[in-house]
């Protein structure tokens, strides 16, 4: 049985990226903080037209994203250490580190957008967010097929968790669908109105989840080596 230190070592790339991004986010927040008046209200939410519709205090607007990223880092360190299928996580560690690092980078990118908006910089929120989410989906699609079955990351249905064949085939399908959806979100965000982009995102995610859930069941049903539920 591996000790906790050795388990942590395989997580080092993702943790290193997270720590660096958090430090940069905090430095950027400190820079913007001293630029804004003490009673400034900072936009913290935008509608689908890209217009701010909710404001918060300087602390909420400038510190929320770094704090959420810290919480994510804690979760991504602790959960794999108690993962029942840790051996599978370890054998998938390259994909695991890249996916988690990509999520942290997206958080940093969204934080940068928020800070630029707080300073009054002309930036198209909708296009920037769609581009970031689209790229994240494409990255997830490229690496999700390389993740072995576990309880933490991936498509976790009763059938993928009880059949290695279902997990493998479902995540190969997920890889293709995530790449297609990521391209659709990124491109639609650049050229289409916000409402249409929202519909594409909502329907795309819902359709993807429904498709892979059904697919995982049918593959499991035909797997002679599946485990009983």
pTM, 2 dp: 0.83
3-state secondary structure of 224: coil
Stretch 163-191: mean pLDDT = 92
Domain ranges of the chain: 1-123, 124-229
In sequence order, what DSSP letters do the residues of 45-102 get, joined into one string?
A: EE-TTS-EEEEE-HHHHHHHHHHHHHHHHHHHHHHHHT-TTHHHHHHTHHHHHHHHHH
Separation of alpha carbons 170 and 23, rounded Å? 37
* Out of 9-13, 123-127, 139-143, least confident range: 9-13
Q: Quickly state the pLDDT bin for 1 (edges 50, 70, 90).
A: very low
Under a CB-based contact definition with an 8 Å cutoff, are residues 14 and 8 in contact?
no
What are the residue ranges of helices labelled H in 82-193? 86-91, 93-118, 125-144, 164-191
Q: What would the pLDDT profile of 54-110 be if each residue is shown by its tens digit? A: 888 888 889 989 999 999 888 887 877 787 887 877 788 888 888 889 999 999 999
Under a CB-based contact definition with an 8 Å cutoff, are residues 115 and 28 in contact?
yes
């Amino acid at each position: 049985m591996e000790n906790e230190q050795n388990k942590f070592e395989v997580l080092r790339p993702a943790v290193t990226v997270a720590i660096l991004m958090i430090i940069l986010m905090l430095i950027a927040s400190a820079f913007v903080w001293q630029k804004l008046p003490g009673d400034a209200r900072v936009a913290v939410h935008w509608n689908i037209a890209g217009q701010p519709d909710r404001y918060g205090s300087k602390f909420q607007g400038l510190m929320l994203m770094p704090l959420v990223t810290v919480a994510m880092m804690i979760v991504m360190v602790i959960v794999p250490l108690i993962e029942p299928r840790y051996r599978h996580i370890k054998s998938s560690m390259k994909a695991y580190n890249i996916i988690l690092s990509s999520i942290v980078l997206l958080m940093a990118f969204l934080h940068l957008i928020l800070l630029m908006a707080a300073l009054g910089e002309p930036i198209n929120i909708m296009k920037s967010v769609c581009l970031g989410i689209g790229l994240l989906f494409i990255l997830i699609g490229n690496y999700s097929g390389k993740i072995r079955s576990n309880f933490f990351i991936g498509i976790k249905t009763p059938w993928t968790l009880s059949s290695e064949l279902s997990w493998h085939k479902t995540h190969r399908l997920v890889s293709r669908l995530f790449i297609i959806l990521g391209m659709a979100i990124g491109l639609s965000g650049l050229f289409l109105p916000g409402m249409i982009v929202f519909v594409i995102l909502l329907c795309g995610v819902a359709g993807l989840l429904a498709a892979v859930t059904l697919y995982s069941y049918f593959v499991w049903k035909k797997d002679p080596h599946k485990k009983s539920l």
